[in-house]
Amino acid sequence: MVNYSLFVKEKLKSIIANMASRKDEFVKDPGKDFTRRRKLSFEETINFMLSMGVVALITS
């Protein structure tokens, strides 16, 4: 079971990294969003949103 958990975590990291390399496809304003260095990168923002859980996003 632990191996499966690690597999899923690594797969998710891989997918997020892939998304970060093509982030223009996932943002509202591709020429502007996530172009400057911010405190939270695209990957960190996605990870944060996933860690919050769906309920927190719905109530926001």
**Tens digit of each residue's pLDDT (9 = 90 or more) over 8-55:** 888 998 998 998 888 788 778 877 776 667 677 778 888 888 887 756
Report how far residue 59's alpha carbon sits from residue 5's, in angstroms, rounded to the nearest whole number: 28
Does 1 or 24 have the greater pLDDT score?
24
- The model's pTM: 0.60
Report how far residue 29's alpha carbon sits from residue 43's, in angstroms, rounded to the nearest whole number: 17
> What pLDDT sits at residue 55?
60
Helix residue spans in the chain (DSSP H): 2-21, 42-52, 54-59
Q: Which residues contact 34 (CB under 8 A, 6 or more apart)?
A: 23, 27, 41, 42
Report how far residue 8's alpha carbon sits from residue 49's, in angstroms, rounded to the nearest whole number: 17
